[in-house]
Chains A and B, each alone.
Chain A
Amino acid sequence: MSEYLLEVRNLQTRFELFRGTVKAVDGVDFTLREGEILGLVGESGGGKSVTGFSLLGLIDPPGRIAAGEVIFRGENLLEKSEEEMRRIRGKEISMIFQDPMTSLNPLQSIGRQIGEMLALHTPLSPADRRKRSIELLREVGIPNPEDRLENYPHQFSGGMRQRVVIAIALAANPKLIIADEPTTALDVTVQAQILALMENLVKRFGSALILITHDLAVVSEMTHRVAVMYCGRVVEEGPTRELVRHPFHPYTKGLLESIPRLSGERSRRLPQIPGMVPSLFDLPPGCSFAPRCGYATDLCRHEAPRMRAVAPGRTVSCHNPVQGGEEAEGHGR
């Protein structure tokens, strides 16, 4: 087995629509080690959620995974049958979604929903399943877990519901958890609770985590490494601290600078990235970011850049990376 828990190579997911083909994920590569937390970050339409769904083979027509490999513990998931995938989902890889209200069944008690996961993926007896469910609820910080087992999702607050979802995701002790905007629907104090909880559990259970989010600040506090996506491609990847301090890709730099800060100098205007994300039906030739990029040259407008290493552990897909990964500056530091 390789040194990686997960290796994604040249992943391509397309949606064949009446208006044309959308390359939602267009040649994505990344790797993940055991116990590692990777952030997939970008704005809407970047392809980060579709990447997450593709890993689990959860792409419905008109979408399809057109090419690539998803090597998980040495086996290519894209070659597995639906039957085999069903045994992997939840047991080996589980997923946490943004909205805890829609990911829980409103008509079943949460005890039953956790129990179902355990029944599917573990050999536990009904009595042991109940015991384990109580343990899991205690693990995710739900008070009086014995009594709460009989409760229904609407009897929990948003933060508590997300804790239940996390308990279900952890039930079968998966090797990998994919969390798609897990705290976006929550208030900041509750978000802080949930992020701290996820970080602790991942550490204790030894799982790896892919955190999909638009929030660079969350990524910078939570993850070990980060991959920045734009228009279906990873444009930059590297260790989180270094990438946040010294971005190489002009898009990463622009994103970082456009976030207002909580401390330090405060400039009157925020640096902004001009224009907007192009339509995926009508991507510009060459680099997708070129029309919004202050560093773009003729080469960028004609030829799409390839991913290349620029520093140890750092890769970037750009013809004119920001020189020496200069400090994301402009305001706020």
Chain B
Amino acid sequence: MPQIITAREAAQLIKPHSRLLIGGFLAVGAAEDLLDALVRENTKDLHIVVIASDYEQRGVGKLVVNHQVSSAQVSHMGTNKEIQNQMNNGEIHVELVPQGTLMERVRAAGAGLGGILTPTGIGTTVEEGKQVLEINGKRYILEMPIAGDFALIRAWKADKAGNLIYRKTARNSNPIMAMSAACVIAEADEIVESGVLDPEQIVTPGIFVNYLVLHEPSASQEV
């Protein structure tokens, strides 16, 4: 059973140089309380894995603005000038990964796979330095799994067994990130007793979740 802790306690688990898998898409479905607490702890040299670097004041962008990130695997940075500036001045090392490839690489780590084969990126710079395999006449790039020390995810409702459901497009990468980290911290809008959520509707089963944090609407900067 996951332990229920505060955002501050959760942030204190995270040490410098940790690899963080962070759920959300343009800050929708981002664990804003956990990110705010991590900003307050000012933990440095973080490696982040996230679909997009969000905005400077919302989502994972807050960690970037506070100079806590030393490397990132991300698919889109167009909404956050600060990460582009820090990449250009050498402060952050960025690996740009096609979004679908990023998801499958993270999923592979949690699913016990040694890698994935994808046609995405063939004939582009994404292919450079990687093994390309031809299978039944079609070329695929071998992409390696991405695992995290921690996953910071955001759910709509959690039960005390750690089973999670999500709301609308706030689901996005959260169920994937939840599969592939040694320690998974889920921030939920609501935490209910076990048995309240319909087992048919569970998206992330509690086996993946180590800690639950109750989201405090007033505590975060979301709009």
Q: Do A and B bind each other?
A: no
- The residues of A with any CB-CB pair to B shorter than 8 Å are none
Chain B residues within 8 Å of A, Cβ to Cβ: none
